[in-house]
Amino acid sequence: MVETIKYASVSIEEVIAAKLRLEANVFNVEARKAKEVLRNCKWDILQLKDFMTDCFYGGRAKRNYISKYSKGAIGFLGSAEMLETNPQPVKFLSALSMNIKPFKVNEGTVLISRSGTIGNVTLVNKTLSKFLISEHAIRIIPKEYGGFIYTYLKTEVGRTIVQSNSFGAVILQVEPEHLENIVIPNPSKDLKERINKLANLSFELRDKSNELLVEAESILKKELELPSFQNLSPAFFDKEASVRTFSIKLEFLNNRFEGSYHNPIVTSILDCLLDTSENIKPLGKLCKEITMPGIFKRIYVDEENGVPFLGTNDILELNPRVEKFLSKTGHKKLIEKELSVKENTVLITDRGTIGNVVLVPEYYENENWTVSQNSIRIVPNSKDIAGYIYIFLNSDFGKALSKRETYGAVIDMIDPSNAGQIPIPILKNKEAMKKINDLALKANQLRTEAYYKEKEAIKIMNDEVIYATEN
């Protein structure tokens, strides 16, 4: 692949206007084009500081992480995790032993990543406000129209201009003062309100979706009479030993010699499920197929000639910024047979962080999105069980049972055959089981609605604001 060298001449006046910054990023060719687009639009151009009351880092403090189940534990999210539709934090800070106020965020705040990947942006909704957010996300406090600001920064023009303000030789960064001076169009009040309303509605729908998922998991735990995860303390740990040990009978080895497979906590979960469920079935018995595409040499092309290709982090977001497009012609059969995913397919990450679970929403099909081979495809027998499978696998108990099936000396992995062995409890109460399933499917519908509301907001921003001219 031949890369084109991009260059531009820069005047002394531009250098002075940029406060004597000489980094190439500041005079990025694409950013110059983006600013030219804004100069040609029909609306007045202001600076981001005209739309906000404050812009600052989050708290900086020594982090002493604690268990999820410790008293006072609050989930802590990094600048990548904050983008997830339904965040599942893996790190927790104590509200009892440290000042968490600097890490808290309020609804309506716009968050934008300031280091590494510059310009990842989200809007704080009810879901996100429950967590603590890393200092690697800059806080923008809007005067009003937070949804409008978010939508603008989500566009290609907005993101390009943000990234042009970055600096750093190894790890790129951006400062609050740089964001304050970012140019932004100022359309009519009606347009700002339309875009703002659509963006806010998108995040409200995400909240409603997440609330249904919480309700579904609550019903699951009640029906299975599952104890709190932290209360699973197996009696067969040798408490006198300097190293926690346990024994296992030969008949239960199942040709697996990893300690993780025989984890007593997992055994305790299975004992609970055997007592309270009607029966337990291997995941494979509830599915038409469990597959994973093979490794292949990827042919990337431009957006016009390719299909969006999502990685394992992308599937956790509602509307990820797709940067990779697979060739429609070079990968035609692979796209059709293995990489495309259908609605209500359950995806589970197969390596590294095992057990991130997604129930594929309708818009994946509509948008012709493809998913990386690093996600196992679980196709349930019908949609009448798909939501239930998703809810169980996404629970603490389901993730523990999934983790049991992993293998690997350096990087944990799980393959389709092992995934097919994950035990799934069948509830005695069939009405409750149906309700869990229906709640999950409804949550997925709301996720689709949220996606299209955001997409509409971005389209209006592009068509009627950024690229709108007097002619």
Sign of CA dihedral 402, 406, 412, 414: negative
Between residues 127 and 246, the one the model is more confident about: 127
Burial classification of residue 56, based on how many CB atoms lie within 10 Å of its CB (0-12 exposed, 13-18 middle, 19 or more buried): exposed
CA 60 to chain centroid, in Å, comes to 24
Query: Can you give the pLDDT at residue 411?
Result: 73
The pLDDT-based confidence of 25 (bands split at 50, 70, 90) is: low
């359950």: which residue's tokens? Answer: 346
Query: Can you give the pLDDT at residue 21?
Result: 58
Confidence check: pLDDT of 20 > 60: no
Alpha-carbon distances, residue 335 vs 87, 189, 307, 359, 389 (angstroms): 29, 44, 9, 19, 25
Tell me what percent of the residues of the chain surpass a pLDDT of 70.
87
The conformation of residue 403, written as its DSSP 8-state character, comes to H
Task: For 362-419, list the strands marked E by DSSP.
Answer: 370-371, 375-380
Segment among 84-88, 247-251, 279-283 with least mean pLDDT:
247-251
DSSP 3-state of 12: helix
Give pLDDT tens digits for 68-79: 888 899 999 999
Q: Which residues contact 340 (CB under 8 A, 6 or more apart)?
A: 365, 368, 369, 370, 371
- Residue 134 is encoded by which pair of tokens? 């890393």
**H or E stretch at 443:** helix 430-460
Sign of CA dihedral 449, 451, 455, 457: positive
Segment among 223-237, 278-292, 343-357 with least mean pLDDT:
223-237
Say what the alpha-carbon torsion angle 61, 66, 68, 71 is, to the nearest 10 degrees.
-100
Segment among 53-62, 278-287, 420-429, 441-450 with least mean pLDDT:
53-62
Give pLDDT tens digits for 365-398: 999 999 999 899 999 999 999 999 999 999 999 9
Kindly write down the DSSP assignment for every residue of 256-291, as one continuous string: ---GGGG-HHHHHHHHHHHHHSSEEEEGGGGEEEEE
Average pLDDT over residues 10-33: 66
Strands 132-133 and 137-142: unpaired
- Residue 160 is encoded by which pair of tokens? 């390009």
Strands 279-282 and 287-291: unpaired
DSSP tally for the chain: helices H, then strands E: 14, 18
Average pLDDT over residues 15-19: 61
Confidence check: pLDDT of 169 > 70: no
Burial classification of residue 440, based on how many CB atoms lie within 10 Å of its CB (0-12 exposed, 13-18 middle, 19 or more buried): buried
Pairs from 453-457 (Cβ < 8 Å, separation ≥ 24): 453/198, 453/199, 453/201, 453/202, 453/205, 454/151, 454/154, 454/198, 454/199, 454/202, 454/318, 454/319, 455/319, 456/198, 457/147, 457/151, 457/195, 457/198, 457/199, 457/202
Q: What is the C-alpha to C-alpha distance for residues 8 and 199, in angstroms, rounded to an integer?
A: 36
Q: What is the C-alpha to C-alpha distance for residues 112 and 109, in angstroms, rounded to an integer?
A: 10
Confidence check: pLDDT of 238 > 80: no
The conformation of residue 381, written as its DSSP 8-state character, comes to S
Helix 156-163 and helix 29-40: axis angle, to 10°? 130
Confidence check: pLDDT of 133 > 90: yes
Burial classification of residue 430, based on how many CB atoms lie within 10 Å of its CB (0-12 exposed, 13-18 middle, 19 or more buried): exposed
HSE, CB side, 13 Å, CA atoms: give it for residue 414. 31
Q: What is the mean pLDDT of the chain?
A: 88
């109460």: which residue's tokens? Answer: 429
Buried b (16+ CB within 10 A) or exposed e, 183-211: ebbbbeeebbebbbebbbbbbebbbbbbe
Confidence check: pLDDT of 37 > 70: yes
Segment among 271-275, 304-308, 393-397, 410-414 with least mean pLDDT:
410-414
Domain ranges of the chain: 12-186, 213-449
- CATH class of this structure's domain 12-186: alpha beta
The pLDDT-based confidence of 32 (bands split at 50, 70, 90) is: confident
Query: Can you give the pLDDT at residue 384?
Result: 97
Phi-psi bin for 60: left (phi > 0), alpha (psi -120 to 50), beta? beta
Query: Can you give the pLDDT at residue 1?
Result: 40
Alpha-carbon distances, residue 465 vs 49, 180, 267 (angstroms): 19, 20, 59
Average pLDDT over residues 271-284: 93
**C-alpha Rg value of the chain to the nearest Å:** 25
CATH for 213-449, options being 3.40.50.720, 3.90.220.20, 3.40.109.10, 3.30.930.10: 3.90.220.20
Question: Amino acid identity of 314?
Answer: D
Question: Amino acid identity of 257?
Answer: F
